[in-house]
Every structure is written in structure tokens, then in C-alpha cells.
Amino acid sequence: MSELKIGLIGTGSISESHLQAYQANPKVKLIAVCDLNEERVRNTAEKYNIPHVYTDYRELLANPEVQAVSICTWNNSHAEISIAALRAGKNVLCEKPLCKTVDEALQIEQAVRETGKLLQVGYVRRHASNIAVLKKFIDAGDLGGIYYAKASLIRRLGNPGGWFADRERSGGGPLIDIGVHAIDLCWYLMGKPKVKSVSGNTYNKLGNRSNIQNYEFYQAADYDASLNTVEDMANALIRFENGASLMVDVSFSLHAKDNSAQINIYGDKGGAEIEPVLSIVTERHDTIINIDPQISTPGFDFQGAFDREINHFVDSCLGLIETNSPVEDGVEMIKILNAIYQSAAEGREIHF
């Protein structure tokens, strides 16, 4: 197989990053695209010269030419479409989160096992160039055993509204939208240890703050100032069976002075600051050393990471490599996210 024929389902904002990456990959031919919004999907097809256009994903999956699909739809449709795609014989790249509930995640995992097809979860931050550099240090043992991680992604005014603000479609707010990136990246770099317990809190204090003037912020295409059923912010402490721990806090809306992103990991031989830019800390000759890797993009390179994620998926589909984001990782992350929400709702620690 020299060329992989791709279909894309869902032409919202994140689909552009997928489409640009596929278009740039010489091993790929974009042949089908689908969205409920006919005008939008036809505009996308024209822009990327995609021959087959659908408004029903089932019709796209029935196209025998399509070998693999990207799923870029609302979170509440991820499970249904992923399972249908797998059973239709397609390999799948599903945007994060894998789905909304643990039951859905287990159903997807079962479909992968039964069909033997590939499902890669869209944990794009695993594919950032700075993570590729850091991973070499970790795998070489330069940081030793990583026992603590701390992640914070704070938006002072960043509730996109639309489906992001509708718990029924999204499954939650900043925790499941951006928190999943922070938690997954730390868990991945820590060696994916087994979770022992989770304690979390969520807050619904500020709403979507559509009253704010003179300050621009991202709004979803279906932004509705009257709709908001998700949390403003969430925090959690995750304990692992090997004794390691992870602290995380994320927000769509918070009375913070600035937006901020900080992700740090700490081992017994060294540590690393990942956000806002990669820096490694260790000791040499009884002296603390800060190492600043000289790389073109020391922070998170958004489209570059998507390019590498898509290339990774394509090569996995072609049998050249094994995916580094298998369905099992998606299942584990949904268990963690749901446990945080459960802990917050019930006011207690959740044990695995």
C-alpha cells in the first residue's frame, strides 16, 4: 500500500489542522469529507479538492475506497462513529477525548479487539517537537524515576461557548477539553503508571461571562451566550500505585491576571519544565544545572504537532510503526476524567 485514502468526519475548527497535515503528507490522498452542515462541508471539499462529500457519516463509511478516517465531531458522537468506522473496516484517528463515559470507552476498546483495526487517540501534545526531545532524556534515564508532575492550563476568559459549553455534547468543560491534554501528557511521560485514587473539585461560579467587553476571546462557531452547563474550572490530585502523584488545575474562566500554561515533571535525577518552554534541570559535580535545549520550537508547536500526529497515524496505518496513542490509553484517560468528575460531585476520593 503506497497511498492511504482518508476520509474526515466533522469540519469544525480542529479539522483544519487535520486537513492541512493530510494534504502535506505525500503518502495520503484525501477522498471523502462529511459534516452535518452541508454548506460548510462543501466549502471544505472545494478548498481541499476532496471528491466525495457527505452529510451522513454512515454513507462515508460505506465508501469502499476510504481506508482510514479522522473523527473531529462533538465528543458525544465519538464512540458511535468510532465503533461504526472500525466495524466498517476503517482505521481511526479519534480526536480527544476518546468519548464521554467509561462504558463507551470499553465498547470502543472491544470493537478494536474484534475488528483488529487501529484506533489512535488524538493526544496531539505527545507529538510536539519538544516532547520528542524530552522523551530521549527520559528514556535514557537522565531524569531517573519520575515521581511527581504538576500541570496548570489557565484561561482567564476562554469558554468557547457553543457545543463546548453544552455538557450533553461535550461531556464537561475545561477538564475534558484542555485538562485531558495536560493529564495525558504528564501520565505518558511518567511511564503511564496505574492509577490508585483520584480526588477532584469542580466549580461553577462565573459562567461564560458573555458580559465582558473590550477583551477578545475564542468563540465556537455555534456560540450562544445563554448556554453554559459545564464547569468554569477543575482541579485534581491523582495518586498512582507506584507512589507517584500528579496535581492539575485547568479553567475556562477564572479571575486570573493572565492566561498561563505550566507543565512540570520531577524525577529523582532531574526535572523538566515543559510549558511554556522546555527546560531540563539536573545536577553535575554537586552543582544544579539548568539545560535549555536548543530547538527551533521549545514550546508547543500547534500545527507542527498536528503534522507529526497525522504522519504518525498514517505510518501506523501503513504498518510501518505502532501507534504511541492506542485505544487502551484513551480508556484509561476516560476513567481518570470521569473519576475526577465523580469525586467532585460526591465530595470524596475515588479509588480504582
**Cell 484513551 belongs to which residue?**
330
pLDDT at position 219 is: 82
Lowest mean pLDDT among 13-27, 119-133, 207-221, 272-286: 207-221
pLDDT band of residue 55 (cuts 50, 70, 90) is: very high
Predicted confidence (pLDDT) per residue in 129-144, tens digit: 999 999 999 999 999 9
Residue 73: pLDDT over 70: yes
pLDDT at position 19 is: 98
pLDDT band of residue 299 (cuts 50, 70, 90) is: very high
pTM metric for this prediction: 0.96
Predicted confidence (pLDDT) per residue in 148-172, tens digit: 999 999 999 988 888 999 999 999 9
pLDDT band of residue 1 (cuts 50, 70, 90) is: low
